[in-house]
Amino acid sequence: METRNTQLPPAPPGVITALISGFNAVANRAVVLIIPLLFDLFLWLGPRFSIYNLVSPIIPELERIPTQMQGFPENTSALIEFFEKANLFSALSTFPLGVFSLMSGSLATESPFGERLATSAQGLPALLLWVIALTVTGWLLGSLYFHSVARLVAPEGQKRPSLAHGMFQGFLLSGFWTLLWIVASLPVLVFVAVLMLISPSVASVVLMLISLLVLWLSVPIFFSAHGIFSNTDQLFHSIVKGFRLMRYALPSLGWFVIIAIVLSQGLNFLWRIPPADSWFTLLGIFGHAFITTALLAASFIYYRNLNIWIDEALQWIKAQTADSARA
């Protein structure tokens, strides 16, 4: 049996090992792919929820905005195209708890069956209710998805959270982050809007810095859900553990996040090559579901291993400090 030198700190868990374990787990139990597959099939072949009828009255006003706003006239056509083709059902894809989707950002209006049916909300109050309903449904679907993947990679003998626990705490977690995002973003948007009127170049720099901050915070926010589905943690305990992970294991965690982003986003270029009206898109949907679900499984494995390593490392530091005090 190999023994470790107690004079050296414990080595962090391997990123590649976690990735391999995640891919093997999903390959052996492909049933977990049902949720993301059905989700993308609905967004691909199902009806569209258009919002163009509500925004079309303001399109002429957008075109009359003074041309001194650099770049705006060129972007008007792209903005109009987005409103014409946007699918409100994409609101079902939520963060940090949500089903990973290849088709949520698609603006395609056709499928292999031809022109897709379109529906729309009548009035802004109805639209708001639809957005809330779709978002909450996305939270619940995401909780079910995370719960199924977490159970797949849970060690034998470990107490597994119930589905009711995951759904309830996942709902609370998503609601907490959404409310915090709304409260924090409103003053930021007002500040950036005022700054845009004063100096557009300075506003661009500020927006870039804010974007970097949001990207940095998205990592612990994403992992704040893992404790709920792997350790039966309550809402705030899981959030604290997500930020604890960022504090003590940033270099190792950073490598995992970079590899996961490169794999998922890089392969998305491949999955999106077939047009939406081709049946070859089905291959892209299946490939995306497998890769992203395997990465999610690997994230649960790496989350568990990192927390064990952090506890061991803190105990090692405590023991070293005690030995130094006695010397």
Region 282-294: what's the mean pLDDT? Answer: 96
**Residue 227 within any structural domain of the chain:** yes
When mean pLDDT is compared over 52-56, 120-124, 238-242, 286-290, the highest value belongs to 286-290
**Residue 121 within any structural domain of the chain:** yes
For residue 117, what pLDDT is reported?
Answer: 87
pLDDT tens-digit profile of 301-315? 999 999 999 988 888
Q: Are 92 and 137 in contact (CB under 8 A)?
A: yes
pLDDT tens-digit profile of 251-284? 888 889 999 999 999 999 999 999 999 999 999 9
**Residue 240 within any structural domain of the chain:** yes
pLDDT tier at 6, thresholds 50, 70, 90: low
Of the chain, the percentage scoring pLDDT greater than 90 comes to: 49
When mean pLDDT is compared over 10-19, 99-108, 276-285, the highest value belongs to 276-285
List residues bridging with 119 in a β-sheet.
49
Q: Which residue has the higher pLDDT, 64 or 36?
A: 36
For residue 231, what pLDDT is reported?
Answer: 86
For residue 103, what pLDDT is reported?
Answer: 92
Q: Are 227 and 241 in contact (CB under 8 A)?
A: yes
pLDDT tier at 66, thresholds 50, 70, 90: very low
For residue 197, what pLDDT is reported?
Answer: 77
**Residue 277 within any structural domain of the chain:** yes
Short-list 228, 269, 218, 309, CA closest to 17 = 309
For residue 322, what pLDDT is reported?
Answer: 77
Least confident of 143-152, 210-219, 275-284: 210-219
Helices (H), 29-162: 34-45, 52-55, 59-63, 72-85, 124-153
Euclidean distance between CA atoms 276 and 312, whole angstroms: 50
For residue 305, what pLDDT is reported?
Answer: 92
Q: What is the DSSP string of 129-145?
A: HHHHHHHHHHHHHHHHH
Instruction: Write down the residue that tokens 């899981």 correspond to.
Output: 238
For residue 64, what pLDDT is reported?
Answer: 61
Q: Is 114 left (phi over 0), alpha (psi -120 to 50) or beta?
A: left
How many CB atoms are closer than 10 A to CB 252? 19
For residue 293, what pLDDT is reported?
Answer: 97
Q: Which residue has the higher pLDDT, 320 or 129?
A: 129
Mean pLDDT of all residues belonging to the chain:
86
pLDDT tens-digit profile of 164-208? 999 999 999 999 999 999 998 888 888 888 877 787 777 788 888
**Residue 76 within any structural domain of the chain:** no
Q: Which residue has the higher pLDDT, 64 or 323?
A: 323
For residue 61, what pLDDT is reported?
Answer: 63
Asked if residue 3 has pLDDT above 60, the reply is no
Asked if residue 5 has pLDDT above 60, the reply is no
Euclidean distance between CA atoms 172 and 182, whole angstroms: 15
Q: Which residue type is seen at 41? A: L
**Residue 56 within any structural domain of the chain:** no
**Residue 325 within any structural domain of the chain:** no
Region 66-91: what's the mean pLDDT? Answer: 68
DSSP annotation of 277: T
How many CB atoms are closer than 10 A to CB 275? 11
Number of domains in the chain: 1
Backbone angles phi, psi at 232, to 5 degrees: 55, 30
Asked if residue 68 has pLDDT above 50, the reply is no
The residue segments making up the domain with residue 272 are 15-51+86-315
Region 288-303: what's the mean pLDDT? Answer: 96
